[in-house]
Amino acid sequence: MRVALVAPLCALMVAVVALTFYCTSLLGEAAQGRAVSIGELPLMLLAGGFLVASALTVVAQSLRVANRVAGPEFRLCQALQRIRSGDVAFRVHLRRGDLLTDMAHECNELLDWLNANPPRGVRMGSDVVRVDGGFEIGAESLEEVLR
């Protein structure tokens, strides 16, 4: 993903430098009192290159940020589903550089609190099964419920 961001940024930098040198040469000729012959083609090519490089940079950065939000959002939704199912013996792990790390930290704090203060009916661990009554319990406790 970094190449997808570095290439448009390099193209943008080249376009800005080329456009700056072209405009500087035009201003230098005008300052010396010479007639300035502005060729439309070079100016249009440089401005067009600048616009294309800018658009590619914006698209690459947008995709990068969207990826850094969508992944954590998916992991947090999965964590909430696991908590709702009664499994509280896990941690939410995000990639380095992901956004929403504060939410993941708060989710982990909630999991720590639930592990320390389990509500009635919550099974610790990931061996959770659904029982016909609509509540979920651990596999070891299933025999006790069925008795």
Per-residue pLDDT band for 146 (boundaries 50, 70, 90) equals very low
Q: Tell me the residue type at 89.
A: A
Alpha-helical segments (H) within the chain: 2-31, 40-84, 101-116, 142-146
Tell me how many degrees the CA angle 78-89-119 measures, rounded to the nearest 5. Answer: 95
Distance CA 13, CA 68 (A): 25
Residue extents of the structural domains in the chain:
2-146
Distance CA 119, CA 134 (A): 16
pLDDT at 125: 57
Which pair of structure tokens corresponds to residue 22?
Answer: 């072209």
Residue 106 has pLDDT above 70, yes or no: yes
Distance CA 95, CA 98 (A): 6
pLDDT at 129: 41
Q: What is the pLDDT of residues 62-102, one digit of tens each?
A: 888 888 899 899 999 999 898 888 788 888 988 888 888 89
Give 14-48 as a DSSP string.
HHHHHHHHHHHHHHHHHHTTPPP---HHHHHHHHH
Distance CA 108, CA 141 (A): 26
Distance CA 43, CA 145 (A): 80
Q: What is the mean pLDDT of residues 8-34?
A: 81
Highest mean pLDDT among 23-27, 35-39, 57-61, 99-103: 99-103
